[in-house]
A and B are shown apart, each in its own frame.
Chain A
Amino acid sequence: MAYVHDAEHEHLHDPTAFWEKYIFSQDHKVIAIQYSLIAIGVGLIALFLSALMRMQIGFPGVLDMDSTEYYQAMTMHGMIMVIYLLTALFLGGFGNYLIPLMLGARDMVFPFVNMLSVWFYFLSVIVLLASFFVPGGPTGAGWTLYPPQAISQGTPGVEWGIILMLVSLIIFIIAATMGGLNYVTTVLQARTHGMTLMRMPLSIWGIFVATILALLAFPALFVSGIMMLFDQILGTSFFMPDMMQFGEKGEHTGGSPILFQHLFWFFGHPEVYIVALPAFGLISDIISVHARRAVFGYQMMVWAIVVIGALSFIVWAHHMYVAGMNPYFGFFFAVTTLIIAVPTAMKVYNWLFTLWKGNIHLTVPMLFALAFIMTFVAGGLTGLFLGNVVIDIPLSDTYFVVAHFHMVMGVAPVLVVFAAIYHWYPKITGRMLNDTIGKIHFWITFIGTYLIYFPMHYLGLQGMPRRYYLSENYQFIPESAYAMNEFITVVALVVGISQLLYVWNLGYSYFRGPIADANPWKACSLEWCTPDTPPKHGNWGDAMPVVHRWPYDFAVPEAELDYTLQTTPASEVPVHESDHDEVTLAEADDSAKDDGDGVPSLVQS
């Protein structure tokens, strides 16, 4: 815990050269912006790929796309969105930006490693995109990369695409590990005076637990990636069984395709929460600020994040109910999967109770937060269908699954991304985003995505299989389903194009947006207390902030303003540790509770 102490007296070497300041910067804020810009850029590519896919599904043949190209677009869309956009943006982007600012640190504890992390991420994206230009093109194995088909004939990109994909993933995991160790260490070691763990904003709790999940889950993907590379390049047979393909006996013998699925989903299910937990945290903060009301049930929210994180490691095989594992596993994984719904539901209830008796400002971030709740609840509840093993059997591998996971881990987190960027953009750039464009963008995006994915469940219900280049001439698919597919495609194109409004807003407002003051939303948490906006290198100027209370003191009865900054001492506004505490001013000031060396103890409850 000596770090905080030293940081106060350390002389800061501010970088002056352009390349030190903006390119090879070790400042967490610059790194966060680099992470975010790369992620958004590659996300736009994935969005474009989804438009190509939707064209083929809604209007087959119009684009003259063959099944090879369709499956390549499908694979790259999925992988980019899940890993290179959402994971990178929540941890590398928001994690990097918010952890030091919300906890009152000058920077991450390992700034150089942090810089390496973003450059490794950049390299992984370059390798990934390079696969579009190699012979055979990118892999078309589906984002789950299941062997044997990922590395055998009949799959696009089996020559180079799959190798580049695996190498890119391995580099990405190295980047995520370097970043992740940084985030965890910073949260545990570099909090400022008075910032106990139970005074951290829920954003940080979400990012913190998600990072721990990432550090524990990514190794499973890492080893399976290396093993598959060995199978492909060196001729080992980790995942490759004896095969008789197109009349030829294969070279491999005795490998287990299901082993890969276990490894993949042991990573893949926690991955869902690596994306979801930061989203939960960010949205809690945004709802609280814009409803002007304390986050309801903070302790429950923290424990829910921790419990969800822990449970996420024992539910993975619900992705494999019909994959041919021992059918009795289904009983176990159905139970664990549905248990996870309880802490998740508690989070939803507490968001609602934060709105209840609030003073709700329908700002753009708040609109996105409301849309998130509705989308997340719809997508979360269909998870109860797919988690309950026997209902999953008819629905798995249909459009019901596609609709479910796009709502719950595609659209819902992306709505949080939008809410969070509208919310924190003034701090990041010093300017406000345009409100009118924000609202237009919001309504198109929210209603559009809902119109895309809500009816899609029903296409799956009647049996339409996913990952079909064409679904003509199947008797269980009526003509009307093709009409619905056309409708979905049209809406998807409108939603896709409307994202340009958002990109334009980001760019235009950076130069022309109204100047933002230091705390435009009148929030309580520490990042709004920086001496400069945007914060300068080292964040806090000469004096480190001291924290006296939790970050949600909205409408404290004794206070004049409807928000009380975390740095406001108890002598000005009393600190309520719970609803029932009798507050006495002198004792409530936690600086009195320090253990002698000016450093607060790790946890105060």
Chain B
Amino acid sequence: MIVAIIFALLLLASVIFHFVSPWQISPLGSNWGTIDDTLSFTFLVTGIFFIAIVAFMIYCVYKYQAKPGRKSEYQREDKKLENRLIWITTAGICLLLAPGLIVYSDFVHVPDDAVEFEALGEQWTWSFRLPGDDQIFGRTSINMMDDVNNFGIDPEDPNGQDDIIVMGNKMHLLLDQPVKVNLRSKDVLHDFYVPEFRGKMDLIPGQITYFWFTPTVEGTFDLACAEYCGVGHYNMRGQMIVEEEQAYDDWLSSQKTFAQVLAGGEGEGLVEQGERLALNRGCLACHSIDGSPALGPGWKDMYGRYEKLTDGTEVLVDEAYLVESIVEPNAKMVDGYPPVMVAYDFSEEQLDALLAYMVSLSSNEIAN
């Protein structure tokens, strides 16, 4: 009796929890309401099966608990009953599968009016590319990737010159405009996941994957990596900013084309050069510049402060220490951070630029 009651309470609690839980699917921000409907319908059908099965089990435990002198009924099978249950279950399965496959068919068919953009993932940061005025992406090769050409766009390809390059994790999208997102990875597997958009797809090095959606709600949405990609996986953040045409156009017109990026390398200041390096070489994936916590020590006000090392000693963060930490990261580790940084091979000029950028982020000064 007590056992049956406890099981019954657990069943009841589960059903109540489902309805009162504050943790429900995040508010929809795209056209994929049909996915939500399929999900709700699946909750309904499986919920009925769950309640029926567990309730029947509880009934049996209550009704047929052992009593002295009673024997169970000798019955080996009931083919008729079993066949009936096969058909009921099969019908339930078809009921779930049919709407699921219809919606999935929509999911894999990109509409003709979808515009394209590209998301490029690397450990542990995002960058984006738009095809530009010609609506054609320039062809790419991993062998052409370098500090300036983050996407590896072929400079010989005329289609690539007007491609718009968006560095630094934030991408803008036009409200109610269907988009097909093409996904590429520079290094390992990643996954483009914005919970409000419902869609999701892995990024695979050496391959282009895609999915489509239409953003239907204005606002800023967090982009998370949903495929484990190493120690910084949890911190591979981005943002999708969905806005009306006017705001979107303003943003678009302030972005650089590939041609401008290629030309921009000449004549920029040391600090700008350092900023570009820090973006393109992935430094900012682990080192924040706004004081927020991240995988490695943040660069805001880092220059000129004292850091405690893993061996308990303290070190002044000056030029010498910074250079050593870039070319030989494990030599003197700041306490509290995992030993995951790889040694970088920068030229003297590049190191100078990076140092200049770090110094520019700090209000500290070191007296000579």
Contact = CB atoms under 8 A, between A and B. Distances in A.
A328 B342 contact: no
Interface stretch (B163-171, B223-231, B242-250, B254-262): B223-231
Contact of A362 (B61, B76, B104, B233): B61
A244 B195 contact: no
Interface stretch (A105-113, A187-195, A351-359, A423-431): A351-359
Nearest to A388: B100
Contact of B230 (A154, A297, A397): A154
A318 to B, nearest CB: 12
B321 interface: no
B251 interface: no
B204 interface: yes
A462 B25 contact: yes
Interface stretch (B46-54, B126-134, B311-319): B46-54
B366 interface: no
A297 B32 CA distance: 43
A52 to B, nearest CB: 15
A473 B292 CA distance: 10
B64 A355 contact: yes
Contacts of B220: 475
Interface string A299-332: 1100000000000000000000011100110110
Interface stretch (B81-89, B268-276, B297-305): B81-89
B136 interface: no
Contacts of A389: 100-101, 104
A465 B224 CA distance: 8
Nearest to B190: A149
B342 A153 contact: yes
Contact of A358 (B39, B60, B123): B60
Contact of B202 (A71, A323, A360, A476): A323
Given A345-B89, A374-B54, A391 B64 contact: no
A338 B228 contact: no
Given A348-B53, A557-B74, A148 B205 contact: yes
A373 B50 CA distance: 11
Interface in A328-349: 328, 330-331, 334-335, 338-339, 341-342, 345-346, 348-349
B56 interface: yes
B39 A391 contact: yes
Nearest to B106: A390
B64 A67 contact: no
A291 B23 contact: no
Given A142-B228, A148-B205, A322-B202, A297 B38 contact: no
A462 B26 contact: yes
A202 to B, nearest CB: 13
Contact of A458 (B23, B67, B81, B292): B23
A459 interface: yes
With most chain B CB atoms within 10 A of its CB, the pick from A149, A339, A378, A554 is A149
With most chain A CB atoms within 10 A of its CB, the pick from B11, B23, B35, B123 is B23
Interface stretch (A79-87, A250-258, A537-545): A250-258
A334 B101 contact: yes
Contact of A352 (B57, B71, B222, B344): B57
B361 interface: no
B72 A475 contact: no
Interface residues of B, number: 112
Given A398-B226, A462-B26, A331 B143 contact: no
B89 A342 contact: yes
Contacts of B158: none
B186 interface: yes
A578 B76 contact: yes
Interface string B182-206: 0100111101010110111111111
B38 to A, nearest CB: 6
Contacts of B50: 377-378, 381
Contacts of B188: 148-149, 152, 154, 243, 245
B42 A562 contact: no
Contacts of B225: 465
A230 B337 CA distance: 32
B306 interface: no
B218 interface: no
A288 B186 CA distance: 57
A294 B338 contact: no
Given A148-B189, A297-B78, A458-B24, A360 B281 contact: no
A241 interface: yes
B66 A360 contact: yes
A391 B53 contact: no
Given A330-B108, A357-B75, A249 B142 contact: yes
A455 B191 contact: no
Contacts of A291: 64, 72
Contact of B229 (A149, A356, A385, A557): A149
Contact of A155 (B53, B207, B230, B281): B230
Contacts of B231: 67-68, 71, 140, 154-156, 469
Contacts of A397: 191, 193, 200, 226-227
Contact of A461 (B23, B65, B78, B235): B23
Interface residues of A, number: 120
B228 A391 contact: no
Interface stretch (B90-98, B111-119, B172-180): B90-98
B76 A476 contact: no
A40 B284 CA distance: 44
Contacts of A69: 338
Contact of A244 (B6, B142, B201): B142
A467 interface: yes
A377 B57 CA distance: 11
B104 A554 contact: no
Contact of B344 (A246, A454, A555): A246
Given A292-B72, A322-B202, A579-B77, A66 B345 contact: no
A471 interface: yes
Nearest to B102: A390
A459 B25 CA distance: 9
B47 to A, nearest CB: 8
Contact of A391 (B42, B142, B202, B222): B42
A596 interface: no
Contacts of A250: 187
A480 to B, nearest CB: 5
Given A324-B202, A468-B234, A294 B39 contact: no
Contact of B77 (A140, A245, A297): A297
A500 interface: no
A527 B198 CA distance: 53
Contacts of A358: 60, 64, 72-73
A481 B3 contact: no
Contacts of B237: 474
Given A297-B78, A454-B14, A461 B24 contact: yes
Q: Which 10 A-B pairs have the closest CB atoms?
A: A463-B195, A241-B206, A154-B230, A149-B188, A293-B72, A324-B209, A390-B104, A468-B234, A355-B60, A458-B23
22 contacts: A140-B231, A141-B228, A152-B187, A152-B188, A152-B230, A156-B340, A242-B142, A293-B73, A293-B74, A322-B191, A334-B100, A335-B101, A357-B64, A358-B73, A382-B46, A385-B42, A390-B35, A463-B195, A475-B220, A476-B221, A480-B23, A578-B76
Given A247-B344, A397-B227, A469-B234, 11 more contacts: A296-B78, A338-B97, A358-B60, A385-B42, A398-B226, A447-B10, A461-B24, A462-B23, A467-B233, A475-B221, A576-B76
Interface of A: 66-69, 71, 140-142, 146, 148-149, 152-156, 241-250, 254-258, 291-294, 296-300, 322-324, 327-328, 330-331, 334-335, 338-339, 341-342, 345-346, 348-350, 352-353, 355-362, 367, 370, 373-374, 377-378, 381-382, 384-385, 388-391, 393-394, 396-398, 443, 447, 450, 454-455, 458-459, 461-463, 465, 467-471, 473-476, 478, 480-481, 484, 552, 554-557, 562, 576, 578-579
